[in-house]
């Protein structure tokens, strides 16, 4: 068994879609990034790669490589899943948290979990996604950005 943690943060900006866990979230702003800037999936990828001892998302999918510009993070997650399976690992479970003052994410959590489970080929009981605010504190509390944390157990 191996455990890894992941963290990611992206700035909220106008004229971008807000994508979390592969699901488009209805909101007036989206996350700025080279790919679709899916902060949740990026944290999950880092936790998986960390558990496998394979570096981080920037090493595997550099943000100066045009082939990843605008790419769906679900595709990146699928590629990471293939890599760890080829190394003889499978996901035991993932626990993750999205930190955002707005929008309210609870209506989207089950769809996010289903999206992730489909790509990772794991049961719903093996993934947990939570959302919280920072009660107006810090850059997430002021609405400047969204962050996410994840922990993954590989078996």
Q: Annotated binding residue at 127?
A: no
Is 63 among the annotated ligand-binding positions? yes
72 annotated ligand binder: no
Instruction: Give the long-range contacts of residues 101-110, CB within 8 A, separation 24 or more.
Output: 101/133, 101/134, 101/136, 101/140, 101/141, 101/142, 101/143, 102/27, 102/143, 103/18, 103/25, 103/26, 103/27, 105/20, 105/25, 105/131, 106/131, 108/20, 108/21, 108/23, 108/25
Q: Is 48 annotated as a binding residue?
A: no
Residue 138 annotated as part of some ligand binding site:
no
For residue 125, say whether it is annotated as part of any ligand binding site: no
Is 93 annotated to bind ligand?
Answer: no
Asked if residue 133 belongs to a known ligand binding site, the reply is yes
128 is in an annotated binding site: no
10 is in an annotated binding site: yes
**Annotated binding residue 95:** no
- The answer on whether 58 is annotated among ligand-binding residues is yes
Show binding-site residues.
8-10, 34-35, 42, 56-58, 61-65, 132-135, 139
- In the annotated binding site for a divalent metal cation, the residues are 8, 10, 42
């Amino acid at each position: 068994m191996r455990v890894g943690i992941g963290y990611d943060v992206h700035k909220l900006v106008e004229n971008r879609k807000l994508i979390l866990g592969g699901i488009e979230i209805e909101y007036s702003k989206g996350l700025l990034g080279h790919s679709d800037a899916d902060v949740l999936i990026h944290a999950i990828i880092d936790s998986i790669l960390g558990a496998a001892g394979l570096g981080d998302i920037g090493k595997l999918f550099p943000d100066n490589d045009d082939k990843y510009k605008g790419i769906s993070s679900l595709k990146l997650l699928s590629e990471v899943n293939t890599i760890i399976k080829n190394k003889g690992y499978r996901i035991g479970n993932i626990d993750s948290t999205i930190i955002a003052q707005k929008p309210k994410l609870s209506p989207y959590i089950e769809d996010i979990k289903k999206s992730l489970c489909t790509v990772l080929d794991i049961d719903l009981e093996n993934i947990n996604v939570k959302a919280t605010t920072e009660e107006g504190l810090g850059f997430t509390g002021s609405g400047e950005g969204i962050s996410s944390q994840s922990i993954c157990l590989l078996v």
